[in-house]
Amino acid sequence: MAVVTGASSGIGAATARRLAAEGFEVVCAARRGDRISALAAEIHGRAVRCDVTSSEDVAALAAEVGERCDVLVNNAGGAFGADPVSSADLDQWRAMYELNVIGVVAVTKALLPALMASEGQIVVMGSTAGQVTYEGGGGYAAAKFAVRAVVDTLRLELWDQPVRVCEIAPGMVKSEGFALTRFEGDQAKADAVYAGVAKPLTSEDIADCVAWVATRPSHVNIDRMIVRPRAQAANHKVHRVFVEAG
């Protein structure tokens, strides 16, 4: 069995489909119940409405999963806003920390007994924002740096247990809704993130990485996988080609 949080769209939905194709029964967990119900029906999985920032929802998810879990993909997360630190919206910072960090810890803690029973694999969706900072990304980078610290600490603490721990840190992924959510529905700002980039990563690219990590032999641990499109040499260095009209 595999559990994917944030499975209602983007990387989460693509990962659920990919793991189902690998033969896992997938528990699709997310806040949008209608979307995960449709996805679960499509892949013959199970849908559990779960807000990872709610202790009650996380407990209900663990109860649904039961005693064994082969793979946990902590994918639920997101970025809110792009203000400089000097004018930071602290509510957005708190929301990002709760979702990206506390949510990961809560779900991992709840499902750890089932993962240990199955010699399971934990995959945490980080970001290259958790490796190198950039202007306007302070709140998101702070959360993803914390995610990286959680992953590395967890691996150390579980060193004598039959559980593997991996962070996948994507760079520029043109996934459903990520940039649009960050810019509060401003389509022009969301489109500008990918402007001129011929081939940013897709959700399916990242799902493929998750599936590869999850299907390694039980003695093989992939500590961290940093994945970027070829056009992105670093967070701040992206090859863009603009074609002039006319």
Of 124, 207, 219, nearest to 163 (Cα)? 219
Token pair of 238 as six digits: 């992206």
> What Cα–Cα distance (Å) separates residue 1 from each residue in 182, 190, 197?
32, 35, 37
How far, in Å, CA of 16 to CA of 221, rounded? 21
Of 173, 175, 206, 207, nearest to 43 (Cα)? 207
Alpha-carbon radius of gyration of the chain: 18
97 is catalytic: no
Contact present, 74 and 125 (Cβ < 8 Å)? yes
Alpha helices, DSSP H, located in 22-162:
33-43, 55-65, 90-97, 103-117, 138-157
How far, in Å, CA of 76 to CA of 83, rounded? 22
The one catalytic residue in 97, 134, 140, 194 is: 140
DSSP string, 36-74: HHHHHHHHT-EEEE--TT-HHHHHHHHHHHTT--SEEEE
Terminal Cα distance for the chain, rounded: 54
Which residues are designated catalytic? Answer: 140
